[in-house]
Amino acid sequence: GGGARGPRARSGLRRTMRNMLRAVLLCLVIALAAAAAAAAATDSVEVQVEVDEFAGLDDYVAAPAADDPAADPTPPRPPSPPASPRDPLRGFRGLPRTWEEAVRRFWPDALALLFVLIYGAVFYHGRGNNRLIAQAWMVGLVEFLQSQFAEIRPAYAGKEWDGGGLLCPVSPHEFSSFLSGRRNCSGAALSLTLRHRQDLFGALLSPLLSPLVPLGPRHDTASFEIVLPETLDLPLVLCVCQARDAQAVRGQLEDVRRFTGVLSFPRLGPELAVMAETPDAANGVIQGPVLQALKSMGDLLDVLHITDQYNGPVLGFSKAPRKVLRMVVRLPMPWGNNVDAMMRAS
């Protein structure tokens, strides 16, 4: 019994000592806080007494007598009272009083504000211009697209767009739509990639640095990606592009680089380059209406790519298709009669 009570007694003693130590520390903290408050109150009282009772005493003592001939006839100017801590004009006493002083002190802030205003104006103006271009392009082709496809719905990254219109604004310079309902076609993705008119840096630096560092697309382009059915017999890789861009296109498209070579195709002229596996494959595709459409496009055609080895995603398809017809054309600006050429190529 005694052995059991011993540990409990020692434990109770330690707990009591801890409580006493906490009480002592709490008393010390309270005493220090009270001393600090008393000192602050004493300082404030001393300052108040000095300001209220002795303000202007030196001027009164130093003032000369009235009959002193050397005395100044003008009375001494009373000292200005100290500013109150709650003076409502206290924060405005340091403001400049002239335009010259304001320009000298705040010209960096003015330049920063001017830059922000210019950047915002360029952004909203450029975004609005891109939307107008996309809408005008869609209005010019909507009748033709409706005659070729049963459904046109705006979409982006596999999601539906409920903001109205036939084009989904993916970004201030990108617009997309999905087309479906046609034989020998599983679906088509339509994308517009416009110049970065909303970007102030791109508008200023693109003409200077675009030959060295691309800051965005140099032309407004429309891309058609038509997914062909897997049951379609299409053992073919073919590409048509501008002759000056042939090497760059071959570097971008792996299947064109692996399976094709640059062919001589006089019927299209020297401006366009044809790359196919064999001349017979090129002659079998580029004939009749296709040949006339390519001729009518001229410089508006960027690339026409037909392949059964496609390795990229297509808007509206969860699984990457293999058989794709892809065409990229430049938007004619101004419109004029070039819309007819785009419709024939589409």
Judge contact between 213 and 177, C-beta under 8 A: no
Tokens 């459409």 belong to residue: 293
Residues 321 and 123 sit within 8 Å (Cβ to Cβ): no
What is this structure's pTM? 0.63
- Do the strands 187-193 and 272-276 form a parallel or antiparallel pair, or are they unpaired? unpaired
Tens place of pLDDT per residue across the chain (346 aa): 444 445 544 555 566 666 666 666 666 666 666 655 555 544 444 444 444 444 554 554 455 555 555 555 666 666 665 655 555 545 555 677 787 877 788 888 888 888 899 989 989 988 888 888 888 888 888 888 888 888 888 876 656 566 667 888 888 889 988 888 788 788 888 889 998 888 888 777 766 666 666 667 778 899 999 888 887 777 789 999 999 999 999 999 999 999 988 998 888 888 999 999 888 888 888 888 888 888 888 788 999 999 988 888 787 787 888 889 999 998 876 544 455 545 544 4
- Alpha carbons 173 and 177: distance in angstroms, whole number: 14
Residue closest to 167 by CA, chosen among 150, 188, 190: 190
Give me the helices (H) in the chain, please. Answer: 2-54, 57-62, 99-148, 200-209, 246-252, 254-259, 279-285, 289-297, 338-345
Q: Which of 228, 222, 236 is nearest to 300 (CA)?
A: 222
The Cα–Cα gap between 302 and 272 comes to 10
